[in-house]
Amino acid sequence: MRAVMTVLAVWCAGLGAAAQFGKISVLYDGLADQYAGASPVALGLIVSVVGLVGLVFGTTAGLFVARIGPRRAIVAALLMGAAMSALQALGLSYPVMMASRVVEGVSHLAIVVVGPTLIAGMAAERFRALAMTLWSSFFGVTYAVLALLAPALMAEYGAAGVFVAHAGWMVAIGGCLALLLPPDPAAPQAVRHSLVRQHLAIYTSPRLSAPALGFFCYTFLYVAVLTLLPPEVPVAQRAVAAAGMPLISIALSLTLGVWLLGRMPAVRLVQWGYLVAVPGFVGLALFWGQGVGMVLSALWVAAALGIVQGASFASIPELNATPEDRAQAAGAIAQLGNLGTTTGTPVLAALLTGAGPWGLGLVAVLACGLGIALHSVQARRRARGI
């Protein structure tokens, strides 16, 4: 029972990490008024700078966590995130807000690196696929919860209410994990190689890098799909597409995805997810702007990519046996995942503008093919012991 409670607490820490993005998204219009005169790029950076920290320091965080211990790292990250949210509730100037968001980026990165590592180690073998898939749902669940709760908080207490609620959540989960998690090893691990050599070791290893390489293609596509498709759906079906895509993604990953993980390796399921997504992208190109056909294609794509999402996280413990290796693989996922999130939407938006729906569809199909190919190459390298 203690292990179950700890896994759920770690997942709740993931919800808090996702809210570091989500709270700014729901407050975006109000922040535009608060920072009147700031350019759209400057306002967008308030959201994206948290992810940029992960893009630059993702693998470094994995190495750092492996040295200091996961309990220290995640509790400190939660308290750091709480402090930043409490500070933001005071109504900061733009430069101070940006500085606080950079610190939140460090907090966020530590949580998303430690989270899957802890869950993989605590979950029993027969429940590990379910636990890792549950972890993979934290972003979608957070955005759904914020959509329901944030408007009432904002109406009653303004933006400060959202920031204070987030700070309280982070403190509460930090306290729970401080009590639930076992102590870290007494002494940090010794530094055996330079950071450059350790980065090279991660990205040349077919076990450490494979989850991240496959996940990059997912993040390149998924965030762009959630952003670009709903505005193109006719108004009558737009709400169904906007709400249905993240919900079906989460539901399928936690049900069909978990069932399939009990019957095939996680890497193979990632490849099947990409393959199944291909007809959905073709359908989007065929039925672009045509209501029911476009909505069904969008839901098909979201469902298939939801399978990829859960299986990608499940592949971390499947391919890596030790906590140190899992932390490094999770750091690489954070790094390449942020790269995909950062590049996918602008690239696909430019293609949609310049080449239309078929241009977007073609590149999306190529990205699915790349995800399949990357895993195939790494699987062959593992089989050969390279």
Give the relative orientation of helices 138-157 and 235-252 as an angle to the nearest 10 degrees: 130
Measure the CA–CA gap between 214 and 340, rounded to whole angstroms.
11
Q: What is the pLDDT of residue 195?
A: 65
pLDDT tens readout for residues 165-185:
999 999 999 999 999 988 877
Measure the CA–CA gap between 160 and 154, rounded to whole angstroms.
8
Looking at 165-179, 192-206, 304-318, which range is the least confident one?
192-206
Measure the CA–CA gap between 225 and 349, rounded to whole angstroms.
10
**pLDDT at residue 60 is higher than 70:** yes
Measure the CA–CA gap between 371 and 383, rounded to whole angstroms.
19
CA angle 224, 225, 229 (to 5 degrees): 115
Residues 6+ positions from 331 with CB-CB distance below 8 Å: 58, 59, 60, 61, 62, 63, 65, 113, 202
Residues 6+ positions from 371 with CB-CB distance below 8 Å: 214, 216, 217, 218, 270, 271, 274, 308
Measure the CA–CA gap between 164 and 294, rounded to whole angstroms.
40
Measure the CA–CA gap between 69 and 186, rounded to whole angstroms.
9
pLDDT tens readout for residues 19-50:
898 888 778 777 778 888 777 777 777 877 78
The total number of residues shown for the chain amounts to 386
- In the DSSP assignment, the letter for residue 333 is H
Q: Which amino acid is it at 232?
A: E
Q: What is the pLDDT of residue 186?
A: 63
Looking at 6-20, 178-192, 366-380, which range is the least confident one?
178-192
pTM over 0.75: yes
Residues 6+ positions from 29 with CB-CB distance below 8 Å: none
Domain with CATH 1.20.1250.20 in the chain: 1-182, 193-386
Residue 37 φ/ψ region, left for φ over 0, alpha for ψ in the -120 to 50 degree band, beta for the rest: left
**pLDDT at residue 187 is higher than 80:** no
Question: Domain 193-386 belongs to what topology?
Answer: Growth Hormone; Chain: A; (1.20.1250)
Measure the CA–CA gap between 196 and 386, rounded to whole angstroms.
20
For the segment(s) 1-182, the CATH number from 1.10.260.40, 1.10.10.10, 1.20.1250.20, 3.40.50.300 is: 1.20.1250.20
Tokens standing for 209? Answer: 């890098």
Give the relative orientation of helices 266-286 and 323-384 as an angle to the nearest 10 degrees: 80
**pLDDT at residue 9 is higher than 80:** yes
**pLDDT at residue 190 is higher than 70:** no
Looking at 4-13, 168-177, 194-203, which range is the least confident one?
194-203
268 — pLDDT class (breaks 50, 70, 90)? very high
Measure the CA–CA gap between 382 and 251, rounded to whole angstroms.
32
pLDDT tens readout for residues 276-304:
999 999 999 998 888 888 889 999 998 99
Nearest residue to 308 via CA among 278, 353, 345? 278
**SS3 category, 287:** coil
129 — pLDDT class (breaks 50, 70, 90)? confident
Looking at 82-86, 215-219, 321-325, which range is the least confident one?
321-325
User: 111-120, 177-186, 195-204, 374-383: which has the highest mean pLDDT?
Assistant: 374-383
Q: What is the pLDDT of residue 377?
A: 93
Measure the CA–CA gap between 166 and 18, rounded to whole angstroms.
11
Tokens standing for 46? Answer: 């308030």
Nearest residue to 268 via CA among 362, 123, 99, 382? 382
- In the DSSP assignment, the letter for residue 386 is -
Nearest-Å Rg of the Cα atoms of the chain is 20
Measure the CA–CA gap between 13 and 244, rounded to whole angstroms.
25
Return the percentage of the chain with pLDDT > 90, whole number.
34
Q: What is the pLDDT of residue 194?
A: 63
Which residue is associated with the tokens 């670009």?
Answer: 228
Measure the CA–CA gap between 320 and 328, rounded to whole angstroms.
10
Residues 6+ positions from 81 with CB-CB distance below 8 Å: 16, 17, 20, 104, 107, 108, 111, 166, 167, 170
